[in-house]
Amino acid sequence: MLQVNPNINPPRKLLFNAYLLMFIVHTAQTGVGIAGLPRVVFLQSENDAWISVLITGAVVTMVLFIMDKTLKQFESADLYSIHEYLYGKWGGKLANSVISIYLLSGYFIIMKDYTEMVQEWIFPTLPTWIFTLMLSFLAFYAVSGGIRVVVGICLLSLILSIWITFIIAVPLQYMDYSHLLPIWNHSFKQILMGTFKTSLSIVGYEMLMFVYPFVQNKEKVFRYSMIGNLYSTLLFALVTFVSIGFFSATGLKRTIWPVLSMFKIVRIPNLERFEFIAVSFWMLIILPNICLYLWSASRGIKNVFGITGRKSLYIALLIAWLGTLFLKERIFNNLASDYVGYAGFALFFVYPFLLYTMVKLKTIWKKKRSA
């Protein structure tokens, strides 16, 4: 195994078991994006959208495999320290700056999208800055507790919000299955465009490259990461499948959050608007997202500027919160989401294969040089 500088050897009390990666990967992938995913994919591959989602899940499994192979080359390293090994001190800091900006942007977009969801469905007059400030305090409280607290939130979030998954059984009864036929009547290019659009919503699995040094039994990393991704893929495919059958083609194209819109038909005695509960509970779904992105981004800032973890956390929180004050219009928010999505595709769908190749080449070169 390779020794990198700085080598990360966290104290034993900060380590966690590899099986928890199932919850980390799944909760990192499932956030605000799943509420609007069926429409986004349907615009590209229409009734074959669910096939695009399944293909994306298979591609993510391959990416997780190559990430695991790369990380196993080192004794205890995350993406930041691998960059320093490959590119040297200043080249590494430049690469880590790019990754940190992406992660901080991801944190910002999730927070902004959820704020928009709350304003749209529950509190239309709620000022953005107040709600994002509350989310920032919540994220700060969790992340300042360290990685084990963040992992605990991932586990708790899944347990407390899993009941929402079963609500999909209600719209399932009203599906028109003819909307799904004929199967695979779109070109391969259209299916792949749907795959590309899904990839923008299913990112989050890249957290593996940041939490890896804190995993106790590293030989099981790929197995549990794959299980987490499999569950996310099946869930994403299910909501897409049901949405296609539930809405008309025109209706689905016009509905921004089809998953939440389907909840409108759920009726509970003494409760007229079930979607109010769904949007409120969505906080539990996005909380691990914002915590993982904030934790990873603050570690990147700490690496680049050589400051303490607490200071880097303050900087990350302040930048993201100030961003919500200036990016108010929906059109700018959508543009920012698209650009962050494209960056995520380049950095964590394409780059891991390049990274693995470079690590292998540098290892061979160092062995030949020392021989």
Q: In angstroms, rounded to a whole number, what is the distance separating the alpha carbons of residues 55 and 57?
A: 5
The pLDDT confidence band at residue 261, using thresholds 50, 70 and 90, is confident
288 and 134 Cβ atoms separated by less than 8 Å: no
256 and 117 Cβ atoms separated by less than 8 Å: no
SS3 308: coil
DSSP structural state of residue 6: S
Specify which residues 185 forms β-bridges with.
none
Averaged pLDDT of the chain: 88
Q: Which residues contact 364 (CB under 8 A, 6 or more apart)?
A: none
Rg (CA), the chain: 21
- Which tens digit of pLDDT belongs to each residue from 30-39? 877 888 888 9
Q: CA distances (Å), 157 to each of 104, 135, 146, 354, in order?
A: 21, 15, 17, 34
37 and 45 Cβ atoms separated by less than 8 Å: no
DSSP structural state of residue 5: S
What type of residue is 49? A
* Residue appearing with tokens 């992992």: 151
Mean pLDDT of 259-283: 78
SS3 162: coil
- Which tens digit of pLDDT belongs to each residue from 76-104? 889 999 999 999 889 999 999 999 999 99
Q: In angstroms, rounded to a whole number, what is the distance separating the alpha carbons of residues 157 and 30?
A: 11
- Which tens digit of pLDDT belongs to each residue from 308-333? 888 999 999 999 999 888 776 767 77
Instruction: Classify domain 19-355 at the CATH topology level.
Output: Amino acid/polyamine transporter I (1.20.1740)
Is residue 274's pLDDT more than 80? no
Q: Where are the domains of the chain?
A: 19-355
- What is the phi/psi pair of residue 6, to 5°? -85, 140
Query: b/e per residue, 56-81, with b = 16+ CB within 10 A?
Result: bbebbbebbebbbebbebbebbbbbb
* Residue appearing with tokens 């928010």: 333
Say what the pLDDT of residue 52 is.
Answer: 92
SS3 254: helix
- Which tens digit of pLDDT belongs to each residue from 26-81? 999 987 788 888 898 999 988 999 999 999 999 999 999 999 999 998 888 899 99
pTM as predicted: 0.92
Is residue 2's pLDDT more than 60? no
- Which tens digit of pLDDT belongs to each residue from 154-213? 998 888 878 778 888 888 888 888 988 888 888 888 898 888 888 878 888 999 999 999
Which structure tokens are listed for 283? 């906080």
Is residue 218's pLDDT more than 60? yes
Q: In angstroms, rounded to a whole number, what is the distance separating the alpha carbons of residues 371 and 365?
A: 10
Alpha helices in the chain (DSSP H): 21-29, 33-45, 49-71, 79-121, 128-143, 147-161, 163-166, 169-172, 188-202, 208-211, 221-246, 249-254, 258-262, 274-305, 309-326, 330-345, 351-370
